[in-house]
Amino acid sequence: MHGGLAPFVTMPFLHPDTSDPSRLGGKGAALARLGALGFEIPPWFAVPPDESWTSGELGNSIGLLGSGLLAVRSSGTMEDGAGHSFAGQFESHLEVTASEVAGKITRVRASAQSAAILTYCRERGLSAPAVPTVLVQRMIAPRCAGVAFSADPVSGNRSIAVVSAVSGTGEKLVSGEVDCETWKITRSGEILSQPENALLSVTDALAVSTLARQCETACGRPQDIEWAIDPSGKLWLLQSRPVTTLGLTPDPADTLRVWDNSNIAESYGGVTTPLTFSFARRIYESAYREFCKLMSVPPDRIERADDVFPQMLGLIRGRVYYNLVSWYRVLALLPGFQLNRGFMEQMMGVREPLPDEIVQKIIAENTGSRLADTLALVRTCAGLVRQLTGLPKQIARFQIRLDTALAAPPLPIPQMSGEELVAHYRDLERQLLKKWDAPLVNDFFAMIFYGALRSSCVKWLGDASGTLQNELLLDGGHIISAEPPRRIMKMAALAAAHPGLPELLADPEIPSHRKIAVLQQAPDLAAAFESYLTDFGDRCLEELKLESPTVRDDPASLLISIGAMAARPPTVKQAFLPVLPSPQQKLSPLKRPIFNYLLRQARERVRARENLRFERTRLFGRVRAILRELGHRLHADGMLDSAHDVFYLEIGEILAAWEATGTTAGLGTLARQRRAGFAIYETADAPPDRFQTRGPVHRHEHFENTRPPDTAASSLTGSGACPGRVTGRVRVVLDPRGARLEPGEILVARQTDPGWVVLFPAAAGLLVERGSLLSHSAIVSRELRLPCIVSLPGITTTLKTGDLIEMDGAAGTVRILES
């Protein structure tokens, strides 16, 4: 008989084909649905909680089930749900005679108020359950029975079914009365494990695993089933419910992803809004796809990696991370992957390489026939040479294109119409955002030449510390990012000439507009201040986050820094460790020109890298202005609660509002929901700096830090970025807004970006938790000759403001002298 009982059971009882399946309870509704699909289920009927009956009515319905013993089970509305199974909480009775059924129904109903169930609900924050529907079902006298999971509930592997069996009824298994035998079977039917002297035959085990998977398909989620095989060998389905423990269990067979924020936290620190992330993800995807084309990577290889480019970045609980596997896969499209991946790790500040199993898989992905690989290698190498030799001209052309695109528009942005704003953004996207060629090519060669220079210093010059290359890069030429701190020092000198002005500027309680009004009384200082805003007004904390206010929007930190510098007595910077002049002179005549070429290229590429990042700031400043203005338009049209809510929309959703390509008109509701969700991220603990996931991120309730800091040691080691020994007290600063340093203090930060430069002139040294030897803090510190160490895990929690330390910017070591 398929599907339980035929529809002639009469009121007050319910049969599987009832028109109101909600009254069957959770377990009954599942059985009715599966029965209707043709699963072999012993006949049953349901006793609703609000119905009474006569003994004659009950007896007639029991008779229709056939002869033999019966099972009386609960089927509560909260039972066997996707979130909570209530497994074993309600009473169940097996091997019940017809005369005992009425009493057992009463006991099952009463169990809804048992102490065990009330405790179960209280621990899970659930309300007490209502009186359940009761199922009366003909029992199978089984040869063997048990449970089966369509997915492994322990490991979380969705491709492995687990079958457990005992002789006789399955109640012995549930109660633990006897030990069961266990089988593990893959979707393809491969048996991974089976017992010796098995109760089940291989055919039986495969049939049960197939039944569990069929129930999963029918119910739309992994199932935990009870089954029985009768003496004739027929397989019966007794019940099926969701495996509730899988929701937060990653599948070990899913894709492994390694997340790391080593260097990107410098640009996108803390919680990042949906607008910024969607914009950044869009830019990374198009830019690196274009980069591969520029490097003459064969089109078929780029096409095979089509899924990689959209996955360069990830947003995990509101925070931006590198998806490292994608970065390695892009790098593997170019020659020299085994060597270049080490250089890339240096550039990105990644301290731990990928697991070797992933690296080997990436290598295998990019290995074809010997002839095809050779042709691709020759073609790409030729492209690399062409890009390197033409890079200076390419940078010059890019600069012209950027200056043209960022020229003052015919109308000021606040006066543009919405369509004109969208058209302006599309023009920037077409001219720059999708053609970010010169910066990407330069970054690649900066990575190559810096890594090669470092390797040469170690192998040819015996630099055991691996920091000599930083000393050689001290004279790398003019870097625009070092100009703001120099201007701040000049403005401080101008302010110091006006009695009382330094104290006023340094006072964080005085509003900025009052300070600026006083500045007008010092025309030379006012002119210098306006010049700074003109040249660097788009620089700010977290400057690549579109929601960040710029220095032009809020100059408070700049004014405080000028005042603090002006108010302090003149100090003399500690001298650098002496550097041997031209250490490459001791190289052989063959090696010396090679080394000098590497040094020249590294200096030029690192300098250009930082200067081109400033051009990126200009572009992002223009995009920020456009999108903010579009937010004002959406607010004025009643589409958003406030103009600031535009940051809780994605870039495509904003543009779609004018281009009629969106899928929702409820932008306000969407922004409101996201704003509430991201507010939770702001107060919740951040994920670690590096961790791994498998499959969907939402299955990971917690992330395991794969880079734990050593907070117990009195000596800490990072990457020396700028040489110099300094002894002094530290000041740990997590937010530079309003912060000020006392003379001789060493600045300790989690990460820095161009918005932090207001503190650099006052610092005796710089310690940074994140970042790399090619990050902003490392490059600018070398230009300012400010002793600096980057990539110091946990330094902001290990050190406390006031600790006395000694730092060695060459060796990359920090020694705590006094806590």
pLDDT tens, 385-436?
Answer: 999 999 999 999 999 999 999 999 999 999 999 999 999 999 999 999 888 9
**Residue 369: what pLDDT?**
64
| Interval 234-254 mean pLDDT | 89
**Residue 581: what pLDDT?**
62
**Residue 564: what pLDDT?**
85
**Residue 707: what pLDDT?**
67
pTM score, whole prediction: 0.82
- Percent helix, strand, coil in the chain, to 5, is 45, 15, 40
CA distance 239 to 135: 11
Task: Give yes or no for a contact between 810 and 712, defined as CB atoms under 8 angstroms apart.
Answer: no
pLDDT tens-place string over residues 557-606: 899 889 988 887 765 554 444 445 678 788 899 999 999 999 999 999 99
User: Does residue 78 surpass a pLDDT of 80?
Assistant: no
**Residue 317: what pLDDT?**
96
CA distance 819 to 393: 53
| Interval 85-94 mean pLDDT | 71
**Residue 375: what pLDDT?**
77
For the ranges 31-45, 115-129, 645-659, the one whose mean pLDDT is highest: 645-659
CA distance 792 to 798: 10
In this structure, the strands spanning 44-47 and 765-768 are: unpaired
pLDDT band at 175 (very low <50, low <70, confident <90, very high): low
CA distance 263 to 277: 16
pLDDT tens-place string over residues 358-389: 888 888 887 766 677 677 778 888 888 999 99
In three-state form (DSSP H/G/I as H, E/B as E, the rest C), the secondary structure along 293-330 is HHCCCCHHHHHHCCCCHHHCEEEECCEEEEEHHHHHHH
User: Does residue 723 surpass a pLDDT of 50?
Assistant: yes
CA distance 380 to 384: 6
Q: Please name the residues in contact with 517: beta carbons below 8 A apart, sequence gap of 6 or more.
A: none
User: Does residue 67 surpass a pLDDT of 80?
Assistant: yes
In this structure, the strands spanning 765-768 and 746-749 are: parallel
Least confident of 172-181, 218-227, 311-320, 609-618: 172-181
Residue 182: which H helix or E strand, with range? strand 181-186
φ, ψ of residue 329 to 5 degrees: the values are -65, -35
| Interval 321-339 mean pLDDT | 86
pLDDT band at 2 (very low <50, low <70, confident <90, very high): very low
pLDDT tens-place string over residues 258-282: 999 887 887 888 999 999 999 999 9
Of all residues in the chain, the percent with pLDDT exceeding 90 is 54
**Residue 226: what pLDDT?**
93
